[in-house]
Amino acid sequence: MPIALKFLSTGCGTLPSGRAWGENALYPMRATSIAQAAKNAALDPITWVPLAGASVIGGGGWDDSISDWASKATPLFGSRSGAQNYSDVARLILQGEAIATTFLTPGGGDAGQWMLAKGKGLLVEGAATGITTGITSGLKGAIGRERPDRSDNLSMPSGHASSAFSAMAISNGNLDYIPIGRYERAGMQAANVALAGSVAWARVEGKNHFPTDVLVGAALGNFTTRFIYEAFIGTTPNDKLSFSFEPSLSGGSVAFVRKF
């Protein structure tokens, strides 16, 4: 069964609990759930690994040398302008996927229920995106770091990196609730992380940011978005579902596996 057909059949289903994705978003809010979401977001490797990398690069005094080498050699994108164009396009792809996966999450069969659940879920995701952008802008102004190309003093943290990793976190969060095979899901989520990482690196090759700028931006985007998503989207670990299709001579079998 083509993966596209699997996706097309997901938006009108329900989660294992019988609820729609987003149905319980925002309310009820539980302090314990919010605290656990903050802990999970902080312990996520996509949060702490970039921060550790920024500490190593900054502590070693390698920011300038890596930036100079990357913007002159442009090993991945061939030119500074190519890197800059790529970062814009790849970020848009991630943002588009975040929206698309939202509509593919199980939303229930009733039109009214579907619209309300999707609206509440989109509100949570929009808040995560907006808060990430606001924190990024605030830090840029407060830190006042000059960009490597000397165009302004808004280098730290990278806005492209924070927004790319924010969109990645939304897409990967949504994929956890879309009934597709575990290997397909893992592959798509890994590809999203790689795509967000390539946006960050493109900003270094484009001489728009130092490496520590994009690493901090990546950690910020992932932490803020994952925290808000997990704290307020209103689902539970038992709502996560895997789908698999095993072909056979008689037609094949479909299996759904709930995660515990």
Ranges of each domain in the chain? 3-258
Summarize pLDDT for 188-244 with one digit per residue, the tens.
999 999 999 999 999 999 999 999 999 999 999 999 999 999 999 988 777 775 544
pLDDT of residue 250: 53
Residue 100 has pLDDT above 90, yes or no: yes
pLDDT of residue 249: 52
Sequence-ordered list of residues with C-beta below 8 angstroms from that of 229, at least 6 positions apart, any chain: 124, 125, 128, 169, 170, 173
Summarize pLDDT for 107-124 with one digit per residue, the tens.
877 888 889 999 999 999
SS3 call for 119:
helix
pLDDT of residue 97: 98
Average pLDDT score over the chain: 88
Distance CA 107, CA 117 (A): 6
Sequence-ordered list of residues with C-beta below 8 angstroms from that of 26, at least 6 positions apart, any chain: 120, 123, 124, 232, 234
Residue 158 has pLDDT above 80, yes or no: yes
Distance CA 164, CA 7 (A): 23
Average confidence (pLDDT) over 73-95: 98
